[in-house]
Chains A and B, each alone.
Chain A
Amino acid sequence: MSTRTDFAQTAQQREAAVTIFERGAPGRRASMLPEIDVPLQAAEALLPARFRRQEIPRLPEVSEPEIVRHYVRLSKRNFDLDSGFYPLGSCTMKHNPKMHERVAAMPGHSRLHPFQRPERAQGALELMWGLQEALSEVAGLPHVSLQPSAGSHGELAGVLLTRAYHEARGDAREIILTPDTAHGTNPATVTMAGYRVVGVGTNPDGGVDLDDLRSKATDRVACLMLTNPNTLGIFDPNITEIAKIVHDVGATLYYDGANLNAIMGISRPGDMGFDIVHFNLHKSFTQPHGGGGPGSGPIAVSDRIAPYLPVPLVTRTDTADGPVFDLTDDAPQSIGRLRGFQGNYGVFVRAYAYICSLGGEGLRRASEIAVLNANYLRARMREKGIGEYLSSPYEGSCMHEFVLSGGPMKRDLGIRTLDLAKRMLDFGVHPPTVYFPQLVEECLLIEPTETETRETLDAFVEIVAEILAEAATSPEIAQNAPYTTPVRRLDEATAARTPVLRQSFDRE
C-alpha cells in the first residue's frame, strides 16, 4: 500500500507514548498523608498476617508536577467538543455550559453524603423533585424515576418494568420487537432482561414497515422499542398507528430518548402513545460526555407502569411550613433497585440548571434550532461537489440529524466512508457517526446540534467538499489519512487478536 510520506512528522507524533507507570522513580511520591496521631496498636493484632497484602500493588511512583504534566500532555492528545465541531450523530454533542460545573461543585451538592438523612438533604431532594417534574412535562408522562445511570440502563429499567407489568397480569411474554434501525443497546438490553429479539423492517420512507410490524405483533410480544425521530433522523408519521398496533396486542411501547433533542416542547412521547421513555441527560440536557460518561438515564412512565418503578422514590408532602421531601422504598410492586443510592445526582444538578436557564420556551427553541441546523447542513451537503458522492437515501426534511450514504463516493472516487472520516481528522473536526445505522450503505449519521454557529456548519461543508475534490485526483490521500493526528491509523485487528490490556512490569 502506498503511504504518503510528504507530510512531515508533527512534534506530537515524534514523541512516543509513555504511560504514568513508566514515569517516575522508586521512592518518589506526590501525596503526604496525615500522621498517625493515635496510640499505636500492634499491626498483627489489628489485621492478622493471613489477611495482609503480601506484595504491594505496583502503583506509579511520581511527583505532583510529573502527574500534572503527564495528564495535561495526554489531554492534548484528545479532540474535544470545546475545541471544535463534533457532529457525532445520535450523541447530541451540544455545548456544555460552564456554569454547570460551578453549581455542581458547590459543597452543598458535591459534598453531600448519599446516606445523609432526608431532613438534612431537603435541597437535593427538592432539586430531584423539580427535575422529575420538568422531565415528566417534556415526556408527557406522569411519573419519573431518575435512578438509571445512562441510556442503556434506562432501557434495562424499561424492559424490566415491562416484564413486571406483564407478570402482574399473569401473562408472561417472551418477545421484544426492535426495528433494524435500533441502536445496539436496544437488542442487547432485551437479551439481558431475558427476552428474545425479533426485528422489524424499515419502509422506503425510513419509518417502521407497518405490514412487517402487524405480522410480528402477536400476543407473545411484550414490547416494541422505538426511537422517534429514529436513528435515520426521520420522524415516523405513522406513530399513532404504530402505537395502536402495539397496544392492541397488549404490549408496551418503549421510547429510546437518545433523539429527544429533536422534539422538546414540540411533540411528546406520552402523547404519541409511549408507555416508557428514557432520557439521556448527557445528550439533550448537556451533561458533559466525559470521554464516555458519566451519563444519566432517567425514565418517565404512564400510570399503568408506575406501580413498578424502581425504588427509592422521591416523595413530596405539603405542610403548613412548605413542602417536605423524602425518599421511600415503600412500593410493594416495585421492580426494586437498579444501582446504589439515588442515581447520578451530580448529573441531575447540571440538567436542572440547564432547564432553569432555558425554561420551557427555551427547550423548544433549542429543539427547533437543532432541526434547522440539521436541515441547513443537509441542504448544503446536497450541493454540487458533495451531493453526487454522498447521497441522501431519504427525501423530505430531517429532524435534528440526517444520514448520508457514501455508496456513490466509494464507487466513483474509490474512498470509503471510513477514509472520509479519517481525512476529516486532519481538518480539525470530529467525523460524524459512521456505519450506523447499518441498513444505510457506507452510512454517515450527522447531528450538528443547536449550539453550532452557521459559520461552523459552512466550514464543515467546505472541508467535505475539499476532501472529495482531493479524492477525485488522489484517493490515496484519504485512504491513508490521517497524517497530522498524534498517531495515525491504528492496528485494531492485532489489538483484538493478541490483547494487551494492561501495562506489563517485565522490566522489574
Chain B
Amino acid sequence: MSEYTSLTPEDLAEMLATIGVASIDELLGAIPDDVRLQVPLNIPAGRPEQEVVAHLRQLAERNTSADDEITFLGGGMYDHYSPALIESIILRSEFLTPYTPYQPEISQGGLQAMFEYQTAISELTGLPISNASLYEGPSAVASAAYMSKLANDRPEFVVSRGLHPHARQTLATVAHGWGGRVVEVDLVNGVTDLTQLADLVGPNTCAVIVQQPNFLGAVEDLSAIAEIAHAAGAVPICSADPLTLGVLEAPGNQGIEICVGEGQTLGNRLDFGGPSFGFLAASAEHMRRMPGRIAGQTADVDGRRGFVLTLQTREQHIRREKATSNICTAQALNALAGVIYLAWLGRQGLPELGELLLQRTAYARTQLAALDGVELLHDQPVVREFAVRLDAPADRVIAACQDRGVNPGLALGHEYPEYENGLLVAITEQRSRSDIDTLVRVLGEVVAEIIGSRTAAGVAG
C-alpha cells in the first residue's frame, strides 16, 4: 500500500529527466536479464496500517504472555518490573532513530549514555573497563572466550555445567571456528565441582567459565574458582546476573578477569528472548582486546567536555582481519534502557531489591520443599531462583499448572538429563507472597493428583 515514500508522478517525470533516462528500469540496466526476477515476489499484497495492526494483535493473542498467567519462569530472562520512564525515554526519536555515533559532535547524547552505562557496569562488576554492549548474554560469553584466546592462545575452555546451556552451546559453536574445544565440569549439590575443575584445568586451559548465580540458581564460590584458573595461567570468566550484584560480591573483587552477562533484567522486555543486551567488563590488562564499541571522555577544540568512540584500532572498520572482534551493530538502545533502569533503581534500590529477592525466594523455596512429591535439588544459597525435583513428570506438571493460571517454572530435564523432573523456579519482585502461595497451592494439587492417579492405576511413574 504505502511504501512510506512520497514520489508523485510529477516528481518521477522530473527526476528521470534530470537523470537523463526514460524509466527506472533503465537505471537497473547493469542487472543481467538472467538474474532479474521476471515475476512478482510471492508475498501477499500490502495492507493498510489498521489491518496490519489487527493481524499483529491476533498473533499476539495466541501467545500466553507474562500478563496472562502468574509466571515463575526464568532460566536467563525474568519478569522484573520495568518502570514507565524507560519507555518514555528510549522511544524518543533522538535515541530510537540514529545509528552508531560516527559523528560525535551530533551524537553526544548517545555517547554520554554509553559512558554512563560503562560506569554503571564497571561498578556492578568491580572491573574497570566495560564496553558499550554486546548482543546478549550467551554470545557475550563466546566473546569473552575469544578475548582469552587472543590473550594466551590456548585451545581449551573449561566450562561449568552451571553456565547457561545456551551459553555453553554458543561457545561450542563459535570456538569450533578457531579450533577451540569445550570441556564441561559437573555440578555437585548444585555448584561447580571444584575438585573436578582443578583436575581438568591445566596448561592447555585458555579460560575457566562459570555463572553467578548458576543456572540452578546456586551461588558459586568465585574466589575459589578464580584461584584454580590463575594457578594454571587461565583466564577466569564469569557470566553474572547484574541484578543480583547488589547483594553478591562483585566478580572483579573475587579474582574474575572478565565478567559478562545478560542485561535483560535491567529494564528490558522479555520480547520472547530479544532484543536485550549483553555486557562485558574486564580488568585493565585486557583493555586492548575488548570487543565492540567503547565510549571515552575527551574535550573539544574549545575545551568542552565531550565523548567519542575510542580505542577504535581494535575494531573491524579500522583493523579489518586483525580486529579483536567482528561486532559492529550491537544493542545500544537496550543498554540505554539498562543504565536508565540502574539510575531509577539507584544506589539504595539495588541492594534492597536483592534483599527482597533473597527473602521471597527463600520463602517460596521453603514452602515448595514442604509439599509432598517435591524436594530441593540442592541446598546451596540462592538469590532469586532455585531448583526442585518433582515426583511426577515435570512437563505434565507444568502444563496442568498452566491450565490453572500458574506457570511454575522451567523443566530442567531437557537441558540436564541428570535432573529428570527438575523444575527451576524464579521469583521476581513482581511475584507477591500471595502469588507464591498460589503457586504452592496449585503445584501441590497438581503433583498430588498425578501421584494419586498413578497410585490408583497401580503403575510406577
Question: CB of B250 within 8 A of chain A?
Answer: yes
- Tell me which of A181-189, A409-417, A466-474 binds B: A181-189
Q: What's the Cα separation between A34 and B435 when bound, in Å?
A: 13
Question: CB of A47 within 8 A of chain B?
Answer: yes
- Are B65 and A111 closer than 8 Å at their CB atoms? yes
Residues of A331-368 at the interface with B, using a CB-CB cut-off of 8 Å, are 335-347, 349, 352-353, 355-366, 368
Question: CB of A385 within 8 A of chain B?
Answer: no
| Cβ–Cβ < 8 Å partners of A38 in chain B | 359-360, 362-363, 433, 436
Q: Which residue of B lies closest to A66 (CB)?
A: B343
| Cβ–Cβ < 8 Å partners of B139 in chain A | 149, 153, 338-340
- Tell me which of A211-219, A298-306, A483-491 binds B: A483-491
Q: What's the Cα separation between A430 and B106 when bound, in Å?
A: 8
Question: CB of A265 within 8 A of chain B?
Answer: yes
Q: What's the Cα separation between A183 and B320 when bound, in Å?
A: 8
- Are B219 and A51 closer than 8 Å at their CB atoms? yes
Q: What's the Cα separation between A119 and B255 when bound, in Å?
A: 44
| Cβ–Cβ < 8 Å partners of A116 in chain B | 63-64, 73, 272, 407
- Are A502 and B122 closer than 8 Å at their CB atoms? yes
- Are A114 and B169 closer than 8 Å at their CB atoms? no
Given the known A-B contacts A52-B247, A184-B316, are A425 and B311 also in contact in the complex, defined by CB atoms under 8 Å? no
Contact with A along B313-333 (1 / 0, CB 8 A): 101111111110111111111
- Are A436 and B349 closer than 8 Å at their CB atoms? no
Question: CB of A41 within 8 A of chain B?
Answer: yes
| Cβ–Cβ < 8 Å partners of A115 in chain B | 73-77, 410
- For residue B123, give the distance in angstroms from its CB to the closest CB of chain A: 4
Question: CB of A101 within 8 A of chain B?
Answer: yes
| Cβ–Cβ < 8 Å partners of B299 in chain A | 490-491, 494
User: What are 9 A-B interface contacts by the 8 Å CB criterion?
Assistant: A34-B429, A47-B383, A53-B247, A112-B270, A115-B77, A184-B319, A288-B333, A353-B56, A365-B5
- Are B116 and A371 closer than 8 Å at their CB atoms? no
- Are A188 and B272 closer than 8 Å at their CB atoms? no
| Cβ–Cβ < 8 Å partners of B164 in chain A | 340
Q: What's the Cα separation between A81 and B4 when bound, in Å?
A: 14
Question: CB of B418 within 8 A of chain A?
Answer: no
| Cβ–Cβ < 8 Å partners of A192 in chain B | 146, 174, 177-178, 325-326
- Are A369 and B41 closer than 8 Å at their CB atoms? no
- Identify which of B103, B250, B273, B333 contacts A421 (C-beta below 8 A): B103
- Are B110 and A501 closer than 8 Å at their CB atoms? no
- Are A293 and B170 closer than 8 Å at their CB atoms? no
- Are B305 and A159 closer than 8 Å at their CB atoms? no
- Identify which of A83, A108, A111, A360 contacts B41 (C-beta below 8 A): A360
Question: CB of A388 within 8 A of chain B?
Answer: no
- For residue A498, give the distance in angstroms from its CB to the closest CB of chain B: 9
Question: CB of A46 within 8 A of chain B?
Answer: yes
Q: What's the Cα separation between A43 and B355 when bound, in Å?
A: 8
Q: Which residue of B lies closest to A376 (CB)?
A: B15
- Are A346 and B346 closer than 8 Å at their CB atoms? no
| Cβ–Cβ < 8 Å partners of B393 in chain A | none
Q: What's the Cα separation between A95 and B96 when bound, in Å?
A: 11
Q: What's the Cα separation between A194 and B181 when bound, in Å?
A: 13
Residues of B55-113 at the interface with A, using a CB-CB cut-off of 8 Å, are 55-68, 71, 73-77, 79, 83, 85, 87-89, 91-110, 112-113
- Are A292 and B100 closer than 8 Å at their CB atoms? yes
- Residue among A95, A160, A236, A358 with the highest chain B CB neighbour number at 10 A: A358
Q: What's the Cα separation between A65 and B190 when bound, in Å?
A: 44
- Are B351 and A56 closer than 8 Å at their CB atoms? yes
Interface residues on B, range: 35 or more
Q: What's the Cα separation between A122 and B62 when bound, in Å?
A: 6
- Are B328 and A150 closer than 8 Å at their CB atoms? yes
- Residue among A183, A184, A355 with the highest chain B CB neighbour number at 10 A: A184
Q: Which residue of A lies closest to B213 (CB)?
A: A51
- Are A347 and B275 closer than 8 Å at their CB atoms? yes
- Are B327 and A489 closer than 8 Å at their CB atoms? no
- Identify which of A57, A81, A153 contacts B347 (C-beta below 8 A): A57
- Are B301 and A488 closer than 8 Å at their CB atoms? yes
| Cβ–Cβ < 8 Å partners of A502 in chain B | 115, 118-119, 122, 128-130
Residues of A61-81 at the interface with B, using a CB-CB cut-off of 8 Å, are 61-62, 64, 67-68, 70-72, 74-81
| Cβ–Cβ < 8 Å partners of A13 in chain B | 302, 304
- For residue B125, give the distance in angstroms from its CB to the closest CB of chain A: 9
Residues of B225-282 at the interface with A, using a CB-CB cut-off of 8 Å, are 245-250, 253, 262, 269-275, 277
| Cβ–Cβ < 8 Å partners of A64 in chain B | 85, 344
Residues of A185-201 at the interface with B, using a CB-CB cut-off of 8 Å, are 185, 187-194, 197
- Are B98 and A36 closer than 8 Å at their CB atoms? no
- Residue among B26, B130, B315, B326 with the highest chain A CB neighbour number at 10 A: B326
- Tell me which of B43-51, B195-203, B441-449, B451-459 binds A: B43-51
Question: CB of A11 within 8 A of chain B?
Answer: no
- Are B132 and A109 closer than 8 Å at their CB atoms? no
Q: Which residue of B lies closest to A14 (CB)?
A: B304
- Are A54 and B316 closer than 8 Å at their CB atoms? no
| Cβ–Cβ < 8 Å partners of A134 in chain B | 43
Q: What's the Cα separation between A56 and B249 when bound, in Å?
A: 9
Question: CB of A289 within 8 A of chain B?
Answer: yes
Q: Which residue of A lies closest to B343 (CB)?
A: A60
| Cβ–Cβ < 8 Å partners of A490 in chain B | 104-105, 298-300, 306-308
Question: CB of A106 within 8 A of chain B?
Answer: yes
Known pairs A47-B383, A337-B169, A503-B115; list 20 more (Cβ under 8 Å). Answer: A38-B362, A53-B246, A113-B65, A117-B399, A120-B63, A127-B56, A152-B326, A153-B327, A163-B176, A235-B30, A265-B37, A266-B31, A289-B97, A295-B329, A338-B174, A430-B103, A454-B6, A485-B106, A487-B305, A490-B299
- Are B333 and A291 closer than 8 Å at their CB atoms? yes
Q: What's the Cα separation between A130 and B109 when bound, in Å?
A: 37
Question: CB of A37 within 8 A of chain B?
Answer: yes
- For residue B259, give the distance in angstroms from its CB to the closest CB of chain A: 13
| Cβ–Cβ < 8 Å partners of B306 in chain A | 17, 487, 490
| Cβ–Cβ < 8 Å partners of B248 in chain A | 47, 51-53
| Cβ–Cβ < 8 Å partners of A360 in chain B | 40-45
| Cβ–Cβ < 8 Å partners of A190 in chain B | 321
- Are B323 and A188 closer than 8 Å at their CB atoms? yes
Residues of B1-26 at the interface with A, using a CB-CB cut-off of 8 Å, are 1-7, 11-12, 14-16, 18-21, 24, 26
Residues of A131-171 at the interface with B, using a CB-CB cut-off of 8 Å, are 134, 137-138, 140, 149-153, 155-156, 159-160, 163
Q: What's the Cα separation between A371 and B25 when bound, in Å?
A: 10
Question: CB of B166 within 8 A of chain A?
Answer: yes
Given the known A-B contacts A38-B359, A62-B346, are A150 and B329 also in contact in the complex, defined by CB atoms under 8 Å? yes
- Are B47 and A127 closer than 8 Å at their CB atoms? no
Q: What's the Cα separation between A480 and B47 when bound, in Å?
A: 49
Q: What's the Cα separation between A193 and B332 when bound, in Å?
A: 25
- Are B105 and A425 closer than 8 Å at their CB atoms? yes
Q: What's the Cα separation between A63 and B104 when bound, in Å?
A: 29
Question: CB of B194 within 8 A of chain A?
Answer: no
- Are B322 and A191 closer than 8 Å at their CB atoms? yes
- Identify which of A110, A266, A376, A503 contacts B18 (C-beta below 8 A): A376
- For residue B322, give the distance in angstroms from its CB to the closest CB of chain A: 7
- Are A62 and B333 closer than 8 Å at their CB atoms? no
Q: What's the Cα separation between A376 and B316 when bound, in Å?
A: 32
| Cβ–Cβ < 8 Å partners of A47 in chain B | 219, 247-248, 358, 381, 383
Q: What's the Cα separation between A71 and B459 when bound, in Å?
A: 63
| Cβ–Cβ < 8 Å partners of A500 in chain B | 296-298
Q: What's the Cα separation between A429 and B311 when bound, in Å?
A: 27
| Cβ–Cβ < 8 Å partners of A106 in chain B | 56-57, 60
Ranked 3 nearest A-B pairs via Cβ: A108-B60, A341-B273, A290-B333
Question: CB of B287 within 8 A of chain A?
Answer: yes
- Residue among A155, A185, A352, A355 with the highest chain B CB neighbour number at 10 A: A185
- Are A372 and B363 closer than 8 Å at their CB atoms? no
| Cβ–Cβ < 8 Å partners of B174 in chain A | 156, 160, 192, 338
Question: CB of A121 within 8 A of chain B?
Answer: yes
- Are B305 and A17 closer than 8 Å at their CB atoms? yes
| Cβ–Cβ < 8 Å partners of A365 in chain B | 3, 5
